[in-house]
Structure 1
């Protein structure tokens, strides 16, 4: 995720020490290289300004988190004071940052501050921090709404509100707390019912609680909206509609119709991994293991950087186990290939070799 030192990405671009190389490493999943780079920068005292330390700390904590080294990520965060401390505000250092005001704490650092306790088994503390973060984001939104000339910044904070709410929903869903999830999503939609992604998410939740008719209403609403939301391209919107239709077919065990919807998605965008994965599963349900394996293998060969995710690999390995007596050898070959091309944070244990 983006690492802005303040609400304006521009400030980070102008100010942060060697920012582009850190972002490049993150985009390639080179998390171990980030940890090495931060360690060297600290050892050589290359970080001179207060925001440099915060930015590098944020990337370091994120890298540890991606590598599932949560105790080390927690140690990084423990070295900080209160994130709203005056020590982390530009105006505290007028000689270094003339005419700048506001927090220099990257948003990602606030997110990690909430996430890490959950990863360490301290769920209540983490959830409390997520709700505090949501209050923080909504306060920022109110402030931005009073400055109509800051439309880009306003959109950024709206995206962050959706992101934080989705994080909270994800943790509630893991505990099957569906009522809270529905309330949170409906609260978001009460302010903007024109986002097809959010309306689709409401439909997915309704399916999880067994409200098939409610999900159908939500998915029809998505089709009615059309591509009204600028964040989706025409292809992305059409694929969203197809995937929603396919889910309804899946619930009704009409796998042939679901495959047809997913094939339309893949024809438009061969990198639509959700469609690829779900098409393969539908073929497996139709007892066509050979074709289901071909679908996943083809995706890994065609777009490895996109298709290489744990869910798809787990499903492929399960299909190998069902289809082949010598599945252990085949999975070892897959593991060797993954070791060469996967990002640092890929969980290689998903091959079960």
Structure 2
């Protein structure tokens, strides 16, 4: 967000609670963390109807949570209509200096970065890919201008935040181009970043993945080796938010991918098991280990891997890809798979967040 850090009061710049930033913000954040998106819609509606939002930035923060909740619940048209009510993000209505009595010496936009991001992402959900790409590139230009402006004023911490946003948006752009198999565009975007010393290990790993897609196997291995070297030297750029465990698991997953391409599933399983020993909530490792075991015709153990993950870390492991794969394995392994899937579906209904797509069980 363009507004202050969530632990600083935007009016006094003094440290305080989340609720100092906006009306019952801590409650909204807690509901979001639990995936209680319908409750957020109710809370926003209640705050608006009771006129509890007294400052301009209150309205924007609540609108952000409302748009996020609508998006999570796949109500994309409603989310888009809510965003359209703002008209122009750069309007003077959304600048701190327009309200000097409220915000004193603060200046700049009070529009949360999350709103700008959702605004770029929504067209993809509504089937308008080109508009989505246009908005993402506009957002990228906006971020780069912020970096340029803040760099001039030597606001180093602020520059770091915007550089992380730049890398995040570029990851999203690369993902959208990758989905359309526009590999050359992806490579150009990544090489531009890497040439500017953005040594983000996730980005370099993604470069290796794309090199594999276009048949440049040696180039891919070179990229993965570069990530391992970055881990060993711990020279990863501040734009990477990876912990050491996440970094090490990324290296293992890269190695596993090389083994997968060579159909060496036993070695791939070993790499994924190392990831799971460090972090049982590494869903990519869990899911891919199960798939490797299935390729090795060990369907029983493959199912156990996914079931154990759901039992041990349901809040993390409960994602739709993993559940789809588990249900596919049930269909292969059991004659009475419908009953087993129904049991899984009932369990999901009790523990899943509001935005989980229960239809993935194919009951």
Q: TM-score range by the shorter chain?
A: over 0.9
Q: Given the alignment of the two structures, is residue 303 of structure 1 paired with residue 310 of structure 2, yes or no?
A: no
Q: Matches of residues 187-202 of structure 1 in structure 2 within 5 Å?
A: 187-202=192-207
* 1:171 has 2:176 as partner: yes
| Cα distance per residue 1:249-301 (max 9 Å; x no partner) | 00011001100111111111111111111000000000000000000000000
Higher mean alpha-carbon deviation, 118-127 vs 56-65, is at 118-127
Deviation at 1:8, TM superposition (A): 4.6
Equivalence for 1:228:
235
Equivalence for 1:6: 3
- Give the secondary-structure state (helix, strand or coil) at the position aligned to 2:138: helix
Give 2:22's aligned residue.
Answer: 16
Contact 1:5 1:51 in 2 (8 A): no
Work out whether 1:61 is the aligned partner of 2:61: no
From 320, 329, 350, the counterpart of 2:360: 350
Between the aligned partners of 1:7 and 1:140, the Cα distance in structure 2 is 15
Answering whether residue 143 of structure 2 is matched by residue 125 of structure 1, we say no
Q: Structure 1: give runs of 5+ residues left out of the alignment.
A: none
Give the superposed CA RMSD: 1.4
The equivalent of 2:92 in structure 1 is: 86
Q: Secondary structure at the match of 2:101?
A: coil
In structure 1, how many angstroms separate the alpha carbons of the residues matched to 2:125 and 2:277?
Answer: 38
Return the offset for 1:162: 1.0
Worse-matched range after superposition: 258-267 or 224-233: 224-233
Name the counterpart of 2:293. Answer: 283
Q: 2:263 corresponds to which residue?
A: 253
1:237 to 244, 247, 255: 247
Which of the numbers 277, 280, 292 marks the counterpart of 1:270?
280
Alignment partner for residue 349 of structure 2, among 325, 339, 342? 339
Structure 2 counterparts to residues 63-212 of structure 1, below 5 A: 63-148=69-154, 150-212=155-217
> Normalized against structure 1, the TM-score is what?
0.96
Separation of aligned partners in 1, 2:284 and 2:146? 34
- 1:208-255 CA-partner distances (Å, limit 9, x unpaired): 222211110000011111233363222222211111000000001100
The reply on whether 1:215 has 2:220 as its aligned counterpart is: yes
Question: How far, CA to CA, are the matches of 2:147 and 2:301 in structure 1?
Answer: 49
Question: For the structure 1 residues 188 and 236, does the alpha-carbon distance in structure 2 shift closer, same or farther, using more than 3 Å as the test?
Answer: same
**How many residues of Structure 1 are paired with residues of Structure 2 in the alignment?**
349
Query: What SS does the corresponding residue of 1:95 show, helix, strand or coil?
Result: helix
| 1:151 positional shift | 2.5
Compared with structure 1, are the counterparts of its residues 107 and 117 closer, same or farther at alpha carbon in structure 2 (3 Å cutoff)? same
Q: Structure 2 length as normaliser, TM-score?
A: 0.93
Query: In structure 1, what is the equivalent of residue 36 of structure 2?
Result: 30
- CA spacing shift, 1:93–1:24, aligned 2, 3 Å: same
SS at match of 2:53: coil
